[in-house]
Amino acid sequence: MCVGARLKQGEVVGFSRAEQYLTCGTGQADPKVLHYENGEPIAKDDTIWIAMTTRGYDPIPASHQGLYRYNIKTHEWALVGDMTFDQGDGVLRGWHATDIFYRVSGDNQ
């Protein structure tokens, strides 16, 4: 978050409050809850994990797939990781709009 003001010499500004929100359309898009292969959300200790396209400050290549932790009781969010891939050329690229699930059966087919 960035809060500021441009002031001329001798001018003063005050802030009594600043807030930041995770909202679709302003920085995140395509939210998807991480889930088991049967569709059940992965949850532990009042926490779920969500994958969202996280927009960068530059064009689409600056965006990446952010992995967020969300506590359903305290409503606290945390960015805990991101997903990138390499096409074999050493350049990391961000995933977008990913649906991540855990396959319990162990069958990799």
Residues 29-83: tens digit of each pLDDT: 788 999 999 999 999 999 999 998 887 665 666 677 888 999 999 999 888 888 8
In a domain, 51, yes or no: yes
The total number of structural domains that make up the chain:
1
Instruction: Name the band, by pLDDT with cuts 50, 70 and 90, for residue 6.
Output: confident
Task: Indicate if the pLDDT at residue 1 is higher than 50.
Answer: yes
pLDDT of amino acid 24: 47
In a domain, 43, yes or no: yes
CB atoms within 10 A of CB 67: 19
In a domain, 44, yes or no: yes
**Host H or E run for residue 78:** strand 77-86
Task: Indicate if the pLDDT at residue 25 is higher than 60.
Answer: no
**Mean pLDDT of all residues in the chain?**
81
Kind of pairing between the strands at 28-33 and 35-36: unpaired
In a domain, 19, yes or no: no
Range of the domain at 46: 28-102
In a domain, 32, yes or no: yes
In a domain, 39, yes or no: yes
Rg, the chain, Cα only: 19
Q: Could you tell me the pTM of the whole model?
A: 0.63
In a domain, 17, yes or no: no
Which structure tokens are listed for 33?
Answer: 């809850």
